[in-house]
Chains A and B, each alone.
Chain A
Amino acid sequence: MRLLITGGRVIDPASGLDDTLDVLVEEGQILQVGKVRGSAFRVQGKKNKKPTNQEPPTSSVDRVVDATGKIVTPGLIDMHVHLREPGREDEETIASGTAAAARGGFTSICCMPNTEPVNDTASVTEYIREQAQKVGRVHVFPIGCISRAQQGQGLTEIGDLVAAGCVGLSDDGRPVMNAELMRRAMEYATMFDIPLLPHCEELSLSAGGVAHEGRVSTELGLKGIPSTAEAVMVGRDILLSEYTGARLHICHVSTDESIRLIREARARGVRVSGEATPHHLILTDEAVRGFTTNAKMNPPLRSAGHMTALREALIDGTIEVIATDHAPHAHAEKETEFDYAPFGIIGLETALGLILTEFFHSRLLTLPMIVERMATAPARILKLKHKGTLAVGADADITIIDPDRKWTVEEHELRSKSKNSPFIGWKLKGQAVMTIVAGQVVWETP
């Protein structure tokens, strides 16, 4: 199968490309990136110095995709997804979650280990990968547990997990409270050069909390989660990472204090990166008014000051990655008293549209900056080979984006099994119009 994508603006920060080019794909790999001029296919890109008179590609391809006026980027990568399979297939499955990812423009996603059972052994990792092979629309890279059964007591068999395909370690949702265990996990992880992706929350400070401790929670009488609950742990993990040399990636950063700690650590050369979710970048705790359970997440939506700091950190590169923390929950579980509702919202299908609307069209981020944060950086942090780039020889995971396409987030169009999104009804500008995984089109807008 040969696929030619013509006339699009190809943006690949990893190989320094940003030009109107054609991309030729064969056997699941990027074969050529260049310009069609009549019959001559002129090869572009730093890494490829081959002769320019290649065969005219249009005559021998199976499909030509006209991407004129569109953006052609390396397939987007979401480092933070909850797929719920195994265990809560009523909320999401690997099939439905990867279908949602494909619609959202993601070609690779990392699934967090808090399934039932948790992903703390190679056999669970293997199950997820086999299932993803069978029914997945996009690549699935499992994140393994740091501690056995996510109990925070003893280390998982990290060597086994890595061998089975885990690309990172996290006890997401059940933060490791035992600092010594975290230290040892980091030391052990250095043997495999695998990053730790902690959900940073000091549980004694957040206990019982359901919303950001701020003006809104004060007014509504909701138990608060102070910003320091996150930052105290970010500080601990940065210090441990510096001490052990482990690679650290802070999940869903939400507070000004955390950002200051990360910025300061990076300036000192600590190997720490961070991610921000679209909802923390776009919503504040004002969304909680009315006791809206689709505004309940952990970390909670923060006040405007924290959101502004997070935006600045995303723009200046302190926060390298945009990730969704896609967290499907059954309708009945969210349709309840605020305190009893589970934390989290879905995000795979709205992330790109939200970021384009709120950051590209507001001139806060350029398209290359967005691609860097949604594809290049995740691949670099997770060391995903041949991903996050359109260099010749890379995997043919490609997202074609129409940055000006206007659309409305409609509940019935969501491919995720769960519909718990505060963005339903939002009018957005910009969407993935085609998602290509290993050279196969897995999504195109109707």
Chain B
Amino acid sequence: MTLKRKDLLTIRELEPEEIHQILDTADSMKEIGTREIKKVPALRGKTVINLFYEASTRTRTSFEIAGKWLSADVINIASTVSSMTKGESLLDTGKTLQAMRPDVVIIRHPVPGAPKLLADRLQAAIINAGDGAHEHPTQALLDLFTIRERLGRLEGLRVAIVGDISHSRVARSNIQAMRKTGIEVRVAGPATLLPRYPEQLGVQVTTDLEAAIADADVIMMLRIQRERQGPTLLPSLREYSRLFGLNVERLKKAKEGVLIMHPGPLNRGVEISPEVADGPYSLILDQVTNGLAIRMALLYLLTGGHPAER
């Protein structure tokens, strides 16, 4: 079994059938993580490189563990320890890595489109682990997986995505992924953090949080990225929390038992209160666990099970 494509760069380029194929493959991968010996030989002899130009703990670790459970050799390159800081261009770094014959290069980069730059020129499969505010496809896939696992379906569900939509790759990928699988998406956030042309993303936007969550089956809270925002976008985290934070009181306006998601890392007390983050309907840690299954599935599908061809 294999994907029709060499790389996974965006959700936008995926057909709905491909999304379901990845989710179904992840279903069978998930069991590996429950074994006492968490290792299968599927990617034995394959080399996977984590090329991270941005700080990351959970995504990098998730890819690393996923690769290792499948018996791949996983190498991590982070921007602080490599030639990246010596001014080598991304393409030169990519060509150098290519010369070492990797099977998969996973890249996270602050600039939209950087993974495509590599994908167009390298023989290795490229997986986008987040490119600027553009896309974070594996996050969206693991989110869909988590929703489907809990609710048994995707079609016909309602999901509210709340927070900084404008700068969020998680939002961009999730909006695409959800629309392609029949989920109705509503988006809410402060006017300064909403995209100027939301219709291009295919969603309705509102600044009214309670309207957005009223009949949602799932509420996905986004992280307020303090490090990325200048002082002109929000007056204060305090006011943001008051207007858009999800707390127990506000949850009373939503459906009973509405599921709560967050891509992490959490700003407790800012976009989400501890009671909600740790509450009975929180899927936040399921998302992390399921990330392994999705990434194993992708590594498996992109290396194709046809070693001779690569």
* Interface residues of A, Cβ cutoff 8 Å to B: 213-216, 218-224, 290-291, 332, 335-340
B133 touching A336, Cβ below 8 Å = no
Q: Sample 8 A-B pairs with CB under 8 A, ordered by A number.
A: A213-B196, A215-B200, A218-B200, A290-B113, A291-B117, A338-B111, A338-B114, A339-B112
Contacting residues, chain A, for B172 (C-beta < 8 A) = 219, 221
A340 and B111 in contact, given A218-B200, A291-B116 (Cβ under 8 angstroms):
yes
Chain B residues bordering chain A, tally (CB within 8 A) = 26
B195 touching A337, Cβ below 8 Å = no
> In this assembly, does B217 line the interface, its C-beta being within 8 Å of a C-beta of chain A?
no
- Expressed in whole angstroms, the minimum distance between the Cβ of B193 and any Cβ of chain A is 13
Contacting residues, chain B, for A221 (C-beta < 8 A) = 112, 131-135, 169, 172
A224 touching B196, Cβ below 8 Å = yes
Contacting residues, chain A, for B133 (C-beta < 8 A) = 221-223
> In this assembly, does B80 line the interface, its C-beta being within 8 Å of a C-beta of chain A?
no
* Interface residues of B, Cβ cutoff 8 Å to A: 12, 89-91, 109-114, 116-117, 131-135, 169, 172, 195-201
Contacting residues, chain A, for B169 (C-beta < 8 A) = 221
B113 touching A337, Cβ below 8 Å = yes
A332 touching B200, Cβ below 8 Å = no
Q: How far is the CA of A335 from the CA of B89 in the complex (A)?
A: 9
Contacting residues, chain B, for A214 (C-beta < 8 A) = 196-197
Specify the chain A residue showing the minimal Cβ separation from B133: A221
Report which of B12, B113, B198 forms a contact with A291, defined as CB distance below 8 A: B113
Specify the chain A residue showing the minimal Cβ separation from B92: A332
Q: How far is the CA of A337 from the CA of B91 in the complex (A)?
A: 9
Q: Can you name 9 extra interface pairs (CB under 8 A) apart from A335-B89, A339-B111? A: A213-B196, A215-B197, A216-B200, A221-B133, A223-B133, A224-B196, A336-B90, A337-B111, A339-B132
B112 touching A222, Cβ below 8 Å = yes
Contacting residues, chain B, for A220 (C-beta < 8 A) = 112-113, 134
A291 and B196 in contact, given A221-B172, A339-B132 (Cβ under 8 angstroms):
no
Q: How far is the CA of A338 from the CA of B113 in the complex (A)?
A: 7
Contacting residues, chain B, for A222 (C-beta < 8 A) = 112, 132-134
Contacting residues, chain B, for A216 (C-beta < 8 A) = 200
A219 touching B91, Cβ below 8 Å = no
Q: How far is the CA of A444 from the CA of B199 in the complex (A)?
A: 51
Contacting residues, chain B, for A224 (C-beta < 8 A) = 196
**Residue picked from B12, B91, B169, B195, most chain A C-beta under 10 Å:** B195
Contacting residues, chain A, for B116 (C-beta < 8 A) = 290-291
**Residue picked from B112, B131, B133, B197, most chain A C-beta under 10 Å:** B112
Specify the chain B residue showing the minimal Cβ separation from A224: B196
